[in-house]
């Protein structure tokens, strides 16, 4: 049996190693267009910033190590240029000399990955405009910043790569501006959760220009001007285009393989394409969102590795299946961690999935133990069944632990009630007796059991201003004086029972505290004294974070935290 794999990195390299473990006698050939077959793609920005000191640390396997350990023949700088399924051959170009040859296969795996999106901006051919996808890209950028350290850099795009590069360039002493067409960073987050990231990035010296569109580049003396729609240009010494990636589908399309969303290669759960004996994995393939069943793209290393293993199993005669993705991810930004899993509000709405959500504010470990830091957790769930749908966390220490627990809970089909029952590791340096994951479950269950009603920051903006409702703030006088929602009545929680006569029981009361805990306690008091009460989810802290964001738009068209874009395109 002869297996040919086109592309290395996560999917292709994993498949090659798995095939050898399953079939000691097969011939396995890997064709890789670049000079590196297996490397830490996610670590590339950190080499540019100097956090990873040696380029060799990025290389996980080499052609020599593959040959010695797995007896796999890896041919780097060999580009597959055409597939011929009717003959089971691949036309290959040796990039060193341009010569062509035909390679036969019994079974073929496509792992071509994805290419950086690079719109045809005028002036984008300037050598100071970069993209980052391969080791070669990384070495080029690292060489540039070492030889001519940029004083000003513009990053176009605020996804994972864009923000990681913004951080690493800033660590080199560069003034960094991030330009993003949307009004928020990180589309995996809801707008309100992204606002905390906005504030933190600005505190670290990153300039954010959200809701702006780039229209091209032009030379301006020694500088490069980044041209914006309807605004003054930005002067830069280098530009990084980080506008996402598109599936590398040329081979598949030319060979007549079925394509799916955005031109991605269509595969079944066995990672088989529409043509027998051809499989595909990684960033080039269409995947299925677990909760909704909707097709999507998810260019992440974890799914690619799993797909490579599954494809290898099936190529070798097994019957493994890839169930779909929930999109678990985490990002480091300076000292902050930003993580998500499952559905966010936009995805749930688009799929017509009913949901409710709670926003909790918890310390990563016992607050009396030194060094505690807070994290904001947003948990989405089915209001009828409590089934978990998604979660987002923005914080510092302990974020990775909680997102992994929540991702596991979602994969297991757990409910918010199940979160309250999880027995998680506790000692003061690591957590609290009620872990933040437990707390998210408790808050959601209080809602589902009818112990409290809640409203959200956007609901506050829509409340009538005619005196028909009461806004009540139960924080301390010092907290209230430092900032409060306009029109609120101030009665601290600990003296609330003594001041009930000052409240009108015929008016609904909308209560807030700083994080949502004291206002919940206030609602329990009020509801048992005959008042109609609602608790502000996330508290004043979350309300102020969102409404105080520079890109916030409080117009009537504002839909659940998605501000109107200033981009007119």
CB 221 within 8 A of CB 236: no
- Rounded to whole angstroms, what are the CA distances from 548 to 192, 203, 217, 484, 515? 11, 14, 32, 12, 16
Q: What interhelical angle do 301-315 and 9-22 show, nearest 10?
A: 30
Choice among 42, 195, 523, 560 that is catalytic: 42
DSSP 49-60: TTSS--GGGGEE
CA distances from 51 to 44, 271, 332, 535 (A): 10, 36, 13, 44
Question: Cα 287 to the chain's mean position, in Å?
Answer: 16
CA quadruple 268, 270, 271, 272: dihedral positive or negative? negative
Task: Please state, in angstroms and rounded to a whole number, the distance separating the CA atoms of residues 431 and 175.
Answer: 37
42 is catalytic: yes
DSSP 448: H
Are 172 and 151 spatial neighbours (Cβ–Cβ below 8 Å)?
Answer: no
Tokens, residue 479: 């907290």
Cβ–Cβ < 8 Å for 358, 305: no
Determine contact, residues 490/477, Cβ cutoff 8 Å. Answer: yes
DSSP letters spanning 75-138:
EETEEEEEEETTTTEEEEEETTT--EEEEE-SEEEE---EEE-----TTTTSTTEE---SHHHH
Tell me which residues are annotated as active site: 42
């Amino acid at each position: 049996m002869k297996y040919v794999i086109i592309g290395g990195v996560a999917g292709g390299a994993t498949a090659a190693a798995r095939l050898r473990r399953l079939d000691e006698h097969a011939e396995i050939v890997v064709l890789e267009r670049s000079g590196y077959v297996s490397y830490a793609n996610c670590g590339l920005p950190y080499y540019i910033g100097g956090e990873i000191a040696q380029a060799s640390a990025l290389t996980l396997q080499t052609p020599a190590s593959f040959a010695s350990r797995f007896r796999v023949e890896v041919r780097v700088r060999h580009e597959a240029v055409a597939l011929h399924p009717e003959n089971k051959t691949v036309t290959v170009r040796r990039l060193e000399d341009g010569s062509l040859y035909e390679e036969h296969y019994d079974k073929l795996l496509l792992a071509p990955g994805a290419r950086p999106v690079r719109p045809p901006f005028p002036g984008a051919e300037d050598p100071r405009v970069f993209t980052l996808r391969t080791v070669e890209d990384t070495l080029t950028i690292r060489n540039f910043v070492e030889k001519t350290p940029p004083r000003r850099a513009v990053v176009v795009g605020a996804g994972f790569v864009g923000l990681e590069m913004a951080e690493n360039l800033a660590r080199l002493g560069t003034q960094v501006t991030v330009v993003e067409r949307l009004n928020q960073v990180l589309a995996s987050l809801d707008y309100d959760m992204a606002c905390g990231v906005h504030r933190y990035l600005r505190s670290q010296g990153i300039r954010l220009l959200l809701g702006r569109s780039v229209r091209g580049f032009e030379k301006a003396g020694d500088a490069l001007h980044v041209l914006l729609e309807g605004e003054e240009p930005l002067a830069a010494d280098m530009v990084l285009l980080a506008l996402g990636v598109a599936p590398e589908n040329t081979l598949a399309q030319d060979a007549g393989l079925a394509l799916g969303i955005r031109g991605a290669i269509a595969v079944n759960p066995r990672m088989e394409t529409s043509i027998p004996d051809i499989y595909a994995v990684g960033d080039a393939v269409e995947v299925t969102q677990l909760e909704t069943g909707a097709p999507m793209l998810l260019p992440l290393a974890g799914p690619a590795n799993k797909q490579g293993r599954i494809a290898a199993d099936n190529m070798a005669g097994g019957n493994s299946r890839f169930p779909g993705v929930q999109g678990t991810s985490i990002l480091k930004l300076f000292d902050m961690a930003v993580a998500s899993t499952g559905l966010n509000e936009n995805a749930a709405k688009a799929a017509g999935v009913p949901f409710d959500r709670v926003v909790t504010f918890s310390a990563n470990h016992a607050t009396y133990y030194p060094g505690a830091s807070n994290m904001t957790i947003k948990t989405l769930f089915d209001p009828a069944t409590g089934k978990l749908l998604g979660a987002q966390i923005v914080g510092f220490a302990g974020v990775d632990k909680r997102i992994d627990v929540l991702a596991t809970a979602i994969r297991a089909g757990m409910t918010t009630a199940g979160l309250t029952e999880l027995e998680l590791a506790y000692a003061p340096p690591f957590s609290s007796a009620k872990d933040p994951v437990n707390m998210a479950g408790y808050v959601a269950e209080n809602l589902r059991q009818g112990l409290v009603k809640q409203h959200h920051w956007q609901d506050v903006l829509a409340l009538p201003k005619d005196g028909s409702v009461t806004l009540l703030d139960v924080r301390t006088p010092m907290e209230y004086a430092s900032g409060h929602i306009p029109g609120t009545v101030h009665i601290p929680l600990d003296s609330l029972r003594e001041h009930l006569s000052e409240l009108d029981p015929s008016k609904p009361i909308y209560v807030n505290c700083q994080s949502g805990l004291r206002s919940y306690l206030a609602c329990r008091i009020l509801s048992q004294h005959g008042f109609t009460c609602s608790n502000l989810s996330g508290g004043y802290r979350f309300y102020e974070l969102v409404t105080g964001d520079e890109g916030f738009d409080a117009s009537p068209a504002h839909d659940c935290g998605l501000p109107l874009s200033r981009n007119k395109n």
